[in-house]
Amino acid sequence: MENLTPKAAAERVLKRVLKPGRYTGGEYGQIIKDKKDVRARFAFCFPDTYEIGMSNLGIRILYGAINSHPDLWCERAYTPWVDMEEQLRKYNIPLYAHESGDALRDFDFVGFTLQYELCYTNVLNTLDLAGIPLLSCERDDTMPIIIGGGPCSYNAEPIADFFDIFSIGEGEEALPEIMHLYADMKESGEYTREKFLHAAAKLDGFYVPSLYDVSYNEDGTIKAYTPKYDDIPTKITKRIIADMDKAYFPDRFVMPYIETVHDRIMLEVYRGCIRGCRFCQAGMVYRPIREKSVEVLDRQARALRESTGYDEISLSSLSISDYSEIDGLCDTLLKWTDAAKVNISLPSMRLDMFTKELMDKISTVRASGLTFAPEAGTQRLRDAINKNVTEEDLLRACRVAFEAGKTQVKLYFMLGLPTETDEDIEGIAQLAKHVVDAYYDLYRGVKGRKAPTVTISVACFIPKPFTAFQWEAQNTLEELDRKQKLLRSKINDPKIKYNYHDAEVSLIEAVLARGDRRLAPAILEAHKRGFKFDAWEEFFNYNNWVQVFADCGIDPAYYASREIGEDEVLPWDIIDCGVDKRFLLRERHNAYESVTNRNCAEKCTGCGANKLGGERTWCSRCR
Partner 1 sequence: MVQPMPIRAKFYKVGSLQFISHLDLVRTMTRNLTRAGIPAWYSQGFNPRLKLTFSLPLSIGTQSECEFFDIRLVEPMELDEVKRRINETLTDEMKIVDVYQSERKFSDIAWAEYEIRMTSPKFSSETADALRELYTNPLTLVKRSKSGEKEVDILPYIDLRDCKFDGESIVINAFLSADSADYLNPEYLIKGAEQKLGITFDDPFTEFYTIMRREVYLADKVIVFR
Please give the residue ranges that form the binding site for partner 1 (CB under 8 A).
1-2, 4, 9, 11-15, 20-21, 23-28, 91, 255, 257-259, 306-311, 341, 366
Which lies closer to partner 1 via its Cβ, residue 90 or residue 589?
Answer: 90
Helix (H) or strand (E) holding 510: helix 503-513
Q: 413: Cβ–Cβ under 8 A, 6 or more apart, which residues? A: 373, 374, 375, 376, 377, 428, 456, 457, 458, 459
Single-letter code of the amino acid located at 506? S
CB of 248 to partner 1, least distance (A): 22
Helix (H, G, I), strand (E, B) or coil at 2: coil
Which lies closer to partner 1 via its Cβ, residue 25 or residue 111?
Answer: 25
Helix (H) or strand (E) holding 149: strand 145-149
| DSSP alpha helix (H) spans, 260-325 | 282-285, 294-308
CB of 92 to partner 1, least distance (A): 9
Which lies closer to partner 1 via its Cβ, residue 9 or residue 480?
Answer: 9
Asked if residues 120 and 52 have their Cβ atoms less than 8 Å apart, the reply is no
Single-letter code of the amino acid located at 260? T
State the SS3 of 80-127: CCHHHHHHHHHCCCCCECCCCCCEHHHCCEEEEECCCHHHHHHHHHHH
Neighbour count for residue 187 (Cβ, 10 Å): 11
CB of 17 to partner 1, least distance (A): 9
Handedness of CA 399, 401, 403, 409 (dihedral sign): negative
Which lies closer to partner 1 via its Cβ, residue 20 or residue 94?
Answer: 20
73 DSSP β-pair partners: 41
Please state, in angstroms and rounded to a whole number, the distance separating the CA atoms of residues 437 and 581: 43
Which lies closer to partner 1 via its Cβ, residue 229 or residue 257?
Answer: 257
CB of 12 to partner 1, least distance (A): 3
Which lies closer to partner 1 via its Cβ, residue 63 or residue 109?
Answer: 63
CB of 337 to partner 1, least distance (A): 13
CB of 104 to partner 1, least distance (A): 18
Whether omega for the bond prior to residue 227 falls within 30 degrees of 0, making it cis, is no
Helix (H, G, I), strand (E, B) or coil at 345: strand
Which lies closer to partner 1 via its Cβ, residue 49 or residue 506?
Answer: 49
Please state, in angstroms and rounded to a whole number, the distance separating the CA atoms of residues 379 and 385: 10
Helix, strand, coil percent values for the chain (each to nearest 5):
40, 15, 45
CB of 5 to partner 1, least distance (A): 12
| Closest alpha carbon to 19 in 81, 77, 71, 74 | 81
Which lies closer to partner 1 via its Cβ, residue 50 or residue 109?
Answer: 50
Which lies closer to partner 1 via its Cβ, residue 22 or residue 517?
Answer: 22
Which lies closer to partner 1 via its Cβ, residue 4 or residue 550?
Answer: 4
Please state, in angstroms and rounded to a whole number, the distance separating the CA atoms of residues 483 and 88: 45
Task: List the 72-78 sheet strands across, edge first.
Answer: 72-78, 40-46, 109-113, 145-149, 165-167, 206-207
Which lies closer to partner 1 via its Cβ, residue 25 or residue 418?
Answer: 25
CB of 15 to partner 1, least distance (A): 4
**What are the two backbone dihedrals, phi and then psi, of residue 585, each rounded to the nearest 5 degrees?**
-65, -45
Distances (CA, A) of 274 to 96, 282, 349, 437: 41, 11, 14, 32
CB of 307 to partner 1, least distance (A): 7
CB of 261 to partner 1, least distance (A): 14
CB of 344 to partner 1, least distance (A): 16
CB of 179 to partner 1, least distance (A): 27
Which lies closer to partner 1 via its Cβ, residue 84 or residue 477?
Answer: 84
CB of 121 to partner 1, least distance (A): 27
Which lies closer to partner 1 via its Cβ, residue 23 or residue 413?
Answer: 23
Pairing state between β 109-113 and 72-78:
unpaired
Please state, in angstroms and rounded to a whole number, the distance separating the CA atoms of residues 529 and 353: 48
Which lies closer to partner 1 via its Cβ, residue 51 or residue 157?
Answer: 51
| Closest alpha carbon to 248 in 425, 67, 84 | 67
CB of 53 to partner 1, least distance (A): 17
Residue 345 CA, distance from chain mean position: 20
Please state, in angstroms and rounded to a whole number, the distance separating the CA atoms of residues 597 and 586: 10
CB of 259 to partner 1, least distance (A): 7
Return the DSSP state at 470: T
Which lies closer to partner 1 via its Cβ, residue 341 or residue 447?
Answer: 341
Pairing state between β 206-207 and 165-167:
antiparallel
